[in-house]
A and B are shown apart, each in its own frame.
Chain A
């Protein structure tokens, strides 16, 4: 069975440009998470979805970040415009049920120049 798929794996952009990350969770997993991992830090939750509903987006910087999970399957995280401080790894995870074990994708490493 395929794990959590993320693309692209690496992205280099100039500041003020938009960028989007895509995540396809494990089939049947209703809960989807987006995390931000800065260098030398642990993952920090940005947003959590239960099916297509964003149930916790309190840590998502809504002035420049947005996310969607249409149809409750795959999800897209967008940054517009990107800033230098957004350089980090963006991780996606999914779980079968709310509170269940989270399975992580390999992440997207973003570099903003």
Chain B
């Protein structure tokens, strides 16, 4: 079984400041890792994913996450946040190899302060 821990339920940050949203996972097998974003009153959207290859993955809107196998982490970072980044962010994990159930973390609410 897999589990995901997002220790920070809320992260307030000033506009144009950097941010890191932490995600740690637990699994006895190899995993795929995901970050989803949920804007108010909308469904979850895939932000970025790690399947294999380079451990640093990037999204089109400036977020990046790095897979660290030794620390079982997949932290999400952005060097300069914008008001529009205010949303809830969910880290998720699934075992590799064909379809496997995705396990989500409890989410981190990013509040960007003007």
Task: State the A residues within 8 Å of B (CB).
Answer: 3-4, 40-45, 48, 56, 91, 93, 98-99, 101-107
What does DSSP make chain A's interface, helix, strand, loop or mixed?
loop
Q: Min CB distance, A40 to chain B, in Å?
A: 6
Query: In the complex, how many angstroms separate the beta carbon of B95 from the nearest chain A beta carbon?
Result: 11
Q: By the criterion CB–CB under 8 Å, are A102 and B102 in contact?
A: yes
Chain B, interface size: which category? Answer: 20 to 34
Determine the distance from Cα of A93 to Cα of B38 in the docked complex, in whole angstroms.
Answer: 13
With a CB–CB cut-off of 8 A, which chain B residues contact A106?
41-43
Q: What are 26 contact pairs spanning A and B, CB under 8 A?
A: A3-B43, A4-B43, A40-B106, A40-B107, A41-B106, A41-B107, A42-B4, A42-B104, A42-B105, A42-B106, A43-B44, A45-B102, A56-B101, A91-B43, A91-B44, A93-B43, A98-B98, A98-B99, A99-B98, A99-B99, A101-B46, A101-B49, A102-B46, A104-B36, A106-B42, A106-B43
Find the B residue at minimum CB distance from A58.
Answer: B101
> Once the chains are docked, how many angstroms separate the CA of A107 from the CA of B92?
18
B52 beta carbon closer than 8 Å to chain A? no
A9 to B4, CA, bound (A): 28
Provide the residues of chain A in CB contact with B68, threshold 8 Å.
none
Q: Are A99 and B106 in contact (CB under 8 A)?
A: no
Whether the pair B43, A42 counts as a contact (CB closer than 8 A) is no
Measured CB to CB, the nearest residue on chain A to B44 is: A104
Q: Which of B1-60 contact A (CB under 8 A)?
A: 4, 9, 36, 41-46, 49
> Could you tell me the distance in whole angstroms from the C-beta of A57 to the nearest C-beta in chain B?
12
Q: Is B72 an interface residue (CB 8 A)?
A: no
- Told that A41-B107, A99-B99 touch, could you supply 18 new A-B pairs with CB distance under 8 A? A3-B43, A4-B43, A42-B4, A42-B105, A42-B106, A42-B107, A43-B90, A56-B101, A91-B43, A91-B44, A93-B43, A98-B99, A101-B49, A102-B46, A103-B43, A104-B36, A104-B44, A106-B43
